[in-house]
Amino acid sequence: MTRKIYLLYLFISFSTILFGQQKRKGHLPAARTKAEYQLMIDNNKNVKTTFGKATVWPSNMRMPGEFEESKAVCISWAYEYNEDFSAIIGIDTNSVYGWISAQLAHYISQECEVWIRVWEANDTLKVKQFMGNLGWPLSNYKFFVKQGDDFWMRDFGPIGFYYGTKDSVGFTDMKYYDGRELDNVFPSYLASQMNYKNYPTALNAEGGNLMTDGYGRMFFSSKIKAANNDILRWSNTTTYTNMKTAFATNDLQELTVLNCDGGTGHIDLYTKLIDEETILVSKLPAEITANDRQIIEDNYQKMAALKSTYDRPYTIYRIPHPTGDEGKYDSVTCDQLFNDARNFVNGITVNNTFLFPAYSDEIDGNKEQTDSIVKLFQSIMPGYNVVPIDCRSMSPLGGAIHCITMQVPADNPIRIWHPKVQANKTLQTDFRIIAKCENYSGIKEVACVWRKNNGAWKTLTLTDSATYSIGMLSIPDLTATDIVEYYIAAESNNGKKVTKPATATVYNQGYYRIQFSYGTNIEAIKVEPKNYLFAAFPNPATNQLNVPFQLLNNAQVNIQVLDITGKIWVEKQVKSAMGLQTEILDINNLPSGLYFYNLSIDGQMINTRKFLKQ
């Protein structure tokens, strides 16, 4: 049987299996189950955990961004269940989950080592045979034989960081769900096998709820705070202190947890950093009535109001929401979204490849939308090999590609800090290039390599200036219709060479672009910060109401609280500074009931929202 015919057979077989598994999922969900939650409560009653209390954290810690270079990516191969899905019967080389595991192993191994956890030693032979039958002989891999509970590697897996004077790799080992102890010990096992240091912490958190820019900023949802309050009775301050230690950051950015995401509360179901200043955020269509649509809008405005490590606003792109198989939005309520947590951003960057969840295959599903999303990601992430993987079997479990993979940071990293050139609307011919390149052995050379209109490449060697590499890129004959592409190339004293973007020398198209006229392919989905009224808290409220809002400039602010008849009960006028602000309103004298609050800035109404007074 030829590979093409064999793959077509698999598409048909797995598509048939998929529809059955939407009713009988056959795997533990990504979220904590009710039984696991109760076990957590019971364990906390009887045991004062000492897990992680003796940890002495190393010096010079840095948590890299997921978009940085990876040495390997860990996956846990899927396993097959018996007829009623009450027991595991063996490694999965028959269902759609085995097919997803195979695709991950294949595409990851093209970029770096794929580290595969299997539960029995003889399963390694079965995986190799399966991959060979697919025409994808397994290469660039390591097997780790260790019993597990399921395949949510992102959440229980090793969270790698750099430390010390030689950028050694260590693992932050968080506490995973009670009842999934086999998964919980995998980071320590992997560390022992690969000679890494493992640093346990009592902090309850999962990798899918963490997003870092590589420069000390960490995004996460309020689910982490709630979980540690419930489990360890930690105060918010204690939780934040432990997070700052475990993730080497003083910049914690908390986002409001979603209500309809399958129960995990993880931010990777709607947002993703693709580099240190570019964020993807899902955009739910107007057809969706679930309140997650408003929560996502609030969260992206919080991110839009922040400045990146380059002291300028993030670039944020809104990514469409997946349809059903027939091209319609047939999941619109909270319950429907909860039971099928689809999105396109739950992908993984593996060096020069981006693997993302899709919801079609060669046989059925909205293939047209999948193709459009591939093109969209190729526009946003030029140079990357963009690969869709059908995740219709996984979204009812509350996760997708990002949730079952975990990067391990590369050895001997070179980190390049570079604010990419942002051309003015008016024509200019001189561009200041600045970069800061770091490697523990020191930097030998840094250059800006550039070309105009696909012409010959030219090299501008950057000069050292107080740890920065600087230069002036002058192109005197530039016109408004010209396009300049460039990348930063660095070599360390120990001989390592890297580029930024990382894809610059791989697919011959992953470059920064300077141009003065833009197309509409990605500009149409790019968003900007704006004056904004956020959800007030607490809601319901009793004595006071906290009203957060965002200003683009200093302004006169007016906040009103009205009842359903339009009567004004509370009004507050203040002169407020730009940025994220919160005003506290005294509502102690309000009768119980439904109220509205609004925000006006310099006399212009911004928005009206509602709350309940208890």
Query: What digits encode the pLDDT tens for the residues 131-168?
Result: 999 999 999 999 999 999 999 999 999 999 999 999 99
Q: Which residue has the tokens 């079997």?
A: 393
Distance CA 594, CA 598 (A): 14
CB 300 within 8 A of CB 290: no
Per-residue DSSP letters for 228-287?
Answer: HHHHH---HHHHHHHHHHHTT-SEEEEEPPPSSSSS---GGGTEEEEETTEEEEEE--TT
Q: Are strands 353-358 and 385-390 parallel, antiparallel or unpaired?
A: parallel
What's the pLDDT tens digit per position in 49-80?
A: 444 455 799 989 999 999 999 999 999 999 98
pLDDT of residue 22: 39
Q: Band the pLDDT of 518: cuts 50, 70, 90.
A: low
Residue 569 has pLDDT above 80, yes or no: yes
Q: Band the pLDDT of 325: cuts 50, 70, 90.
A: very high
Q: Band the pLDDT of 88: cuts 50, 70, 90.
A: confident
pLDDT of residue 20: 39
Say how far residue 393 (Cα) sits from the centre of its chain: 21
pLDDT of residue 514: 87
Distance CA 486, CA 514 (A): 8
Residue 521 has pLDDT above 80, yes or no: no
pLDDT of residue 9: 47
Residue 222 has pLDDT above 60, yes or no: yes
Contacts of residue 470, Cβ cutoff 8 Å, sequence gap at least 6: 432, 433, 434, 435, 462, 463
| 148 sits in which H/E element | none
Closest by CA position to 100, among listed 76, 67, 65: 76
Q: What is the mean pLDDT of the chain?
A: 90
Q: Are strands 70-76 and 113-118 parallel, antiparallel or unpaired?
A: parallel
pLDDT of residue 82: 78
CB 110 within 8 A of CB 355: no
Strand partners, 219: 211, 253
Distance CA 179, CA 280 (A): 33
pTM of the model: 0.87
Q: Band the pLDDT of 21: cuts 50, 70, 90.
A: very low
Distance CA 287, CA 303 (A): 24
The one-letter amino acid at 192: S
What's the pLDDT tens digit per position in 183-201?
A: 999 999 999 999 999 999 9
Q: Which residue has the tokens 């693992």?
A: 171
What's the pLDDT tens digit per position in 450-499?
A: 999 999 999 999 999 989 999 999 998 888 888 899 999 999 999 999 99
- Percentage, residues of the chain above pLDDT 70: 91
How do the residues of the chain divide into helix, strand and coil, expressed in percent and rounded to 5? 25, 35, 40
- The pLDDT of 577-590, averaged and rounded, is 89
Say how far residue 257 (Cα) sits from the centre of its chain: 14
Joined together, the tokens standing for residue 322 give 């997946």
> Strand locations in 309-467, DSSP E?
315-320, 348-350, 353-358, 385-390, 406-409, 415-417, 430-438, 443-452, 458-461, 463-465
pLDDT of residue 150: 94
> Edge-to-edge strand order for the sheet containing 271-275?
271-275, 278-283, 315-320, 526-527
pLDDT of residue 55: 79
**Is 45 in a helix, a strand, or coil?**
helix
pLDDT of residue 507: 56
**Is 118 in a helix, a strand, or coil?**
strand
Q: Is the dihedral of CA 362, 368, 370, 374 positive or negative?
A: positive
What's the pLDDT tens digit per position in 293-313?
A: 999 999 999 999 899 999 988
What's the pLDDT tens digit per position in 161-186?
A: 999 999 999 999 999 999 999 999 99
